[in-house]
A and B are shown apart, each in its own frame.
Chain A
Amino acid sequence: RKEVEQDPGPFNVPEGATVAFNCTYSNSASQSFFWYRQDCRKEPKLLMSVYSSGNEDGRFTAQLNRASQYISLLIRDSKLSDSATYLCVVNYQGGKLIFGQGTELSVKP
């Protein structure tokens, strides 16, 4: 079983749509959780950290369920510029980040 598993992609959605990504992690000792964004296999960039209380940043909302070992990302009112690969990332051991495979999002006009 992979340490971090994500929905397989790609997701093709029209502009303005709401899209949700899911992710599960296998290690219950995981401590920190993130969503990163990667454009065209360039460097990953931190989108947002994820907390048990849930957190929102504009059109983006992230949720963490520690009991289910589940993380989600919701994007509302999708823009063309949201097209990218979204990476679910977990940290449980010092500086080592564990990346999911990524889910590709393509927003169409």
Chain B
Amino acid sequence: NAGVMQNPRHLVRRRGQEARLRCSPMKGHSHVYWYRQLPEEGLKFMVYLQKENIIDESGMPKERFSAEFPKEGPSILRIQQVVRGDSAAYFCASSPSATKTYEQYFGPGTRLTVT
């Protein structure tokens, strides 16, 4: 049973470009979470999604960031017009059910570097 998959593992973007980060949850998991870890900081919750629905986006920056989890395909975290401060590790996690949303399994992360 494959774990949570994220790609790319490393992404380099110039300031002003767009970054697209992908996350495929574990088989049978329909709940996806995105977290960000800035250099020298802890992980911070960004957004919680179920298929085709955003459940909690309280941790998402108000501008330039968006997330989706379509009926088919991976979840996408999209960052428009990236700035140097967006450089971070972005982790995706998935959980199996609505009654166990605390039981989250993490992917290997995407390390975004903005030059």
Contact = CB atoms under 8 A, between A and B. Distances in A.
Interface in A18-42: 31-32, 34, 41-42
Interface string A62-73: 000000000000
A54 interface: no
A57 to B, nearest CB: 16
Contacts of A96: 33, 45, 48, 56, 58-59
Contact of B106 (A41, A45, A91): A45
A5 to B, nearest CB: 10
B25 interface: no
Q: Which size bracket describes the interface of A in this complex?
A: 20 to 34
Contact of A94 (B55, B59, B93): B55
A97 B42 contact: no
Interface of B: 31, 33, 35, 37, 41-45, 48, 55-56, 58-59, 89, 91, 93, 95, 101-102, 104, 106-109
Interface of A: 31-32, 34, 41-45, 87, 91, 93-102
Given A45-B106, A99-B43, 16 more contacts: A41-B89, A42-B109, A43-B107, A43-B108, A87-B42, A91-B101, A94-B48, A94-B55, A94-B56, A95-B33, A95-B56, A96-B33, A96-B59, A97-B45, A100-B42, A102-B42
